[in-house]
Structure 1
Amino acid sequence: MEFERKRHNHTHMNIAPLVDVVFLLLLFLMLTSHLIQEPAIKVRLPESKTAEAKDETIKTVSITKDGKIYFMGKRVDLENLQMVIREDLKDLEKDFLRIKSDRDANVGLLVNVIDEVRLSGVKNFSIVTERR
């Protein structure tokens, strides 16, 4: 006498395609997050032991090794810097400005830029350095 076996229909869900999609999304996000950079003005920052890293969108004045001045990626003369800062910043009392100077840039030019920033009315500014 033969007994009939009960057949159980098991439904299996293949999650391999789901895992593939998740890994592709993760890879995409990891790669694109590293592509977000500041304007490509070549500046080697001086080093500091007390430097802090901030990821805010802040108005920036850059000074290159050869003495060129840039405000938000656009070339500016020292004489026009004060006017350009006043036009761009909305609230000179509250807005923040950072100064990025190449470590090999002329210190006298850096001091002149700081003077122009102060004369423009900006109260909050800092000089950017790299942590040692």
Structure 2
Amino acid sequence: MRRFRNFNSQDGAASEINISPLIDVVFILLIFFIVTAVFNEQTGVDVNKPRAASAQDLEAQSILFAVTANGQIYHGGRVVGLDGVQSIVSARLQEDETMPVIIQGDEGASHGAVVKVLDAAKLGGAESVSLATAK
């Protein structure tokens, strides 16, 4: 009676672990998480927002504009200017008509610059335009 198994014998085929199903499962999970991920759009510039007691959380899917202290208007990390606001809003609203527009105005930004961006967003067809503040 043998008590120990001889693993060095060449009497049978070498056993291997097939990792093909494991790789398939990992790729399927990767694709699942990429497809279901929610990508938040950022303005691309840090804005010192004023504080407000009535502040609420931003919606995940929205059109974001930032007005800096020197009056520049940013969207998606690039300067768009006042002329670009209306065209961006109208193009994005063709995808989803209920998407809100959120303006992040710096504390040092002039009131007139923020109102001009708000007006351009309304002319672009936005129904809901909000101002972002810090809690």
Q: TM-score range by the shorter chain?
A: 0.5 to 0.7
Counterpart for residue 65 of structure 2:
61
Q: TM-score, normalised by structure 1?
A: 0.64
SS in structure 1 opposite 2:108?
A: coil
Where does 1:29-44 land on structure 2 (aligned, <5 Å)?
Answer: 38=42, 40-44=44-48
- The 8 Å contact of residues 50 and 133 in structure 2, kept in 1 or not, is answered as yes
Q: CA deviation at 1:91?
A: 5.1
Counterpart for residue 45 of structure 1:
49
Which runs of no fewer than 5 residues in structure 1 stay unpaired?
1-35
CA RMSD between the two structures? 2.2
Q: TM-score, normalised by structure 2?
A: 0.62
Output the CA distance in 2 between the equivalents of 1:39 and 1:77: 13
Q: Deviations over 1:75-115 (max 9, x none)?
A: 10112221122123335641111110001101111111111
Q: Percent identity?
A: 25
- The 8 Å contact of residues 61 and 99 in structure 2, kept in 1 or not, is answered as no
Size of the aligned set, in residue pairs, is 96
Residue of 68, 84, 89 corresponding to 2:88: 84
Which has the larger strand fraction? Answer: 1
Counterpart for residue 23 of structure 2:
none
Which runs of no fewer than 5 residues in structure 2 stay unpaired?
1-39
Residue of 122, 125, 129 corresponding to 2:129: 125
- The 8 Å contact of residues 65 and 102 in structure 1, kept in 2 or not, is answered as yes
Indicate whether 1:71 and 2:72 are aligned.
Answer: no
Counterpart for residue 101 of structure 1:
105
The one-letter amino acid paired with 2:74 is: Y
Show structure 1 runs of 4+ deviating over 2 A. Answer: 36-40, 88-93
